[in-house]
Structure 1
């Protein structure tokens, strides 16, 4: 934090003035003594007045310096995990805020991946070295609540009578626990199906009628698999399995997805999971889908190269995918597929939210809240959306002209908006809550790999994964207690 410097005080020159007057009297005749004395007295009086004026100026300068010190901006340190172009967008938001809020200075500090940042925060909890505000991915929410290291944003909402009615209910739902909003959503996405419209036409498929169910995806993949190209490839990403559950209205852990009470058991081996993994494995075994591993970057590259006809990816990747396909093929988008007959459900929001740390002074926490409110403004959300591809968290952002223009340039994004709004907010679509979610996601990805590799059938792979996750949940719950 920069310190304000005290204004310097110039020295009075009264002694020099008096000396000059005295020299003038010594060179004058005896008849001028009286005049000289009068001049000397006048000079002394003038010097006294000057000194008094100088002292007054000094006092004024000191008062101004003190006032400046009192107005020194409150510093808010924000830890985030946005790199590259996303980091540039973050820095621009911070610059805009600081320019319009001279009483607050936000400093954005990149801390690496979500896991890196969370681990650094854990290490800082016993000291004052941590942030005022931190961006945490959605699956870290349970840990943040249990840490007792945060002030729920609901406290500030209530104190300000802040209106949340214009914010997206399905986004707020994830970060709401016991009817209290604990953090403010920031970067939000969900998964959609991307498909190559040109390949659809060449395969005799209707490019305006993409597959909506597991069975339709398989049939389309069969038709697309020809001439050295393969119908589909979906990255082995635990987030996709979580989404397939929500899209069937199925809960991922017990006790209302961990929202009516603390989760104690993984439900990944339920019918929803077995049905999904069996379908997914069948696509691989039938050679109408490729297994390209865990990285979505690899499936994205294959899609943009025209090697596969369909893939799953985040809505945040939409702009990059559409731009990457320009001049090669037209990109289509569709809702996440679900099993035949599944009606209730929808998608769970992914991404991250902003948490205010409670080990900072009250004025610093309040300053962090002011920044959060700025980020939630429609115009700010509009800029964030068009520069990153993440959802605006406020519905009013869609009224901003730059969002309308962006939607005209990327009409595929309407699929993402429609899918979000079509989702009914129930425990399954609010998202599962457990303190070991990062580890659970890795465990599920391992189970998918075992099924694809033939080491275990889908039911056994998921049974073993559920058992391992349940054990981790039990250990975590005991630690928290």
Structure 2
């Protein structure tokens, strides 16, 4: 087993490696889906399921759908996550807000930020970022899915190969204008590209000008709570922070499935492939998923894991861990609830993130989105020509 510093590093090494030096299993997120399906280097998980009679009934249908193309499951969902709202309960109370009733819609999010500023509790009520894997890319896809709108054509690439992205439409302009207005009105600030995925959380415990709210992956919950418990922020404990659904368009929560899956690499000796499938089956057993989710903040990819300790007890004693799971259950079954399947999705997110950063800095929303869409569609066309 060899750990990587990031999913991006793992993907780059996999693509550059020869077939003989590739691992037998690799763990990568949704942006690998179309590329792996086109590569001929991955054994479809569907084939393993059919050959072994593996029971998929307990697995969350939306988790299976996240890694499926045209009815073929390519990767086995393992560490499921989605964005949630992290917020300071004390600041909510001091601002006259109910800490047990966090904002769910974008309008409620803005109202909460305004109350925090007007009460003098914080000058940074909302902490944003423009990371491709968060506020500059992934979150935008999430908001499109929640609004029931396609981010890319051909059913987000799930019905046929996507040829263009669509985020320069009215919804995209409304979302970006909303965020830009939040910054311009002093209701939000940005920590930039947030490459390490920590800067937004660190701003919440900034001793000088702490933020009150930020959106981050549920996968960080275990780490965040552990850090608070260790005394990283004097005067604050893990009980001072809470977790709510990701604010977004409309009054009801709902998210696309994030995280990563396990992919079995082709052209390995039969005994290695069989051992790889045995490991995947172990990794997605109900007890394994219960233990994993309770320790991290990831969502179990199968419903029966929630009935087993330690996760069953954790969901009762610390409901913060259940928020992300409930968001998956409350999400739509519409095709827009699946993330876009694009061969160059990682590069597309990077381009979208550059546009987001520019908009946060005051750039014209519609013109910036239009330019980004042109660049992203060129990336898609180039990929399709090669594949």
Q: Same fold (TM over 0.5)?
A: yes
Given the alignment of the two structures, is residue 264 of structure 1 paired with residue 163 of structure 2, yes or no?
yes
Contact 2:294 2:321 survives alignment (8 Å): no
Q: Are the counterparts in 2 of residues 319 and 410 from structure 1 also a CA contact under 8 Å?
A: no
Q: Is the 8 A contact 2:255 2:331 kept in 1?
A: yes
Task: Give me the whole-angstrom Cα distance separating, in 1, the residues matched to 2:108 and 2:365.
Answer: 21
CA deviation after TM superposition for structure 1 residue 371, in Å: 0.9
Cα offset, 1:430, TM superposition: 1.3
Q: Distance in 1 between matches of 2:380 and 2:38?
A: 13
Structure 2: gaps (5+ residues): 230-234
The 1:111/1:216 distance shift into structure 2, 3 A limit, reads closer
Indicate which of 309, 313, 321 corresponds to 2:216.
313
Q: Is the Cα contact below 8 Å between 2:163 and 2:380 reproduced in 1?
A: yes
> Using a 3 Å threshold, how does the CA distance of structure 1 residues 396 and 227 change in structure 2: closer, same or farther?
closer
C-alpha distance in 2 between matches for 1:358 and 1:320: 34
Q: Which residue of 1 aligns with 2:200?
A: 299
5+ residue gaps, structure 1, are: 1-107
Structure 1 Cα separation of the partners of residues 228 and 360 of structure 2:
29
Match of 1:40 in 2: none
Query: Structure 1 residue 462: deviation in Å?
Result: 0.8
> Aligned to 1:379, which of 278, 284, 287?
287
Structure-2 separation of matches of 1:387 and 1:143: 31
Q: Using the alignment, how far apart are the partners of 1:308 and 1:140 within structure 2?
A: 34
2:69 maps to which residue?
Answer: 177
**CA spacing shift, 1:214–1:134, aligned 2, 3 Å:** same
Aligned mate of 1:136, from 20, 25, 28: 28
Report what 1:276 is aligned to. Answer: 175
Name the residue aligned to 2:232: none
1:233 alignment partner, one of 120, 127, 131 = 127
Q: Does 1:474 align with 2:367?
A: no
What is the aligned counterpart of 2:264 among 353, 356, 359? 356
Aligned equivalent of 2:13: 120
- Across the aligned residues of Structure 1 and Structure 2, the Cα RMSD in angstroms comes to 1.7
Aligned partner of 1:346 in structure 2 is 254
Runs of 4+ in 1 over 6 A off after TM superposition: none
Shift of 1:173: 1.0
Q: Matched residue of 2:319: which SS?
A: coil
Q: When the two structures are aligned, how many residues end up with a matched partner? A: 369
Q: Which of the two has higher C-alpha Rg?
A: 1
Aligned partner of 2:241 among 306, 310, 331: 331
Shift of residue 304 of structure 1?
3.0
Whether the 8 Å contact between 2:94 and 2:121 is mirrored in structure 1 is no
Check the 8 A contact 1:221/1:231 in 2, yes or no. Answer: yes
Residue 477 of structure 1 deviates from its aligned partner by 0.3
Match of 2:329 among 392, 400, 421: 421
- Is 2:371 aligned against 1:464? yes
Q: Which has the higher contact order (CA 8 A, sep 6+)?
A: 2
Structure 1 residues 211 and 356: alpha-carbon distance in aligned structure 2, compared to 1, 3 A threshold: same
What residue in structure 2 maps to residue 290 of structure 1? 189
8 A contact 1:248–1:346 mirrored in 2: no
Question: Given that residues 154 and 161 in structure 2 are in contact (C-alpha distance below 8 angstroms), is that contact kept between their aligned partners in structure 1?
Answer: yes
Using structure 1 for the length normalisation, give the TM-score.
0.74
Work out whether residues 27 and 261 of structure 2, in 8 Å CA contact, stay in contact via their aligned partners in 1.
yes
Separation of aligned partners in 2, 1:158 and 1:198: 52
Alignment check: 8 A CA contact 1:192 1:335 kept: yes
TM-score normalised per structure 2: 0.91
Contact 1:192 1:313 in 2 (8 A): yes
Cα offsets for 1:391-412 (capped at 9, x unmatched): 1112111111211232244221
Whole-Å separation in 1 of the counterparts to 2:297 and 2:323: 13
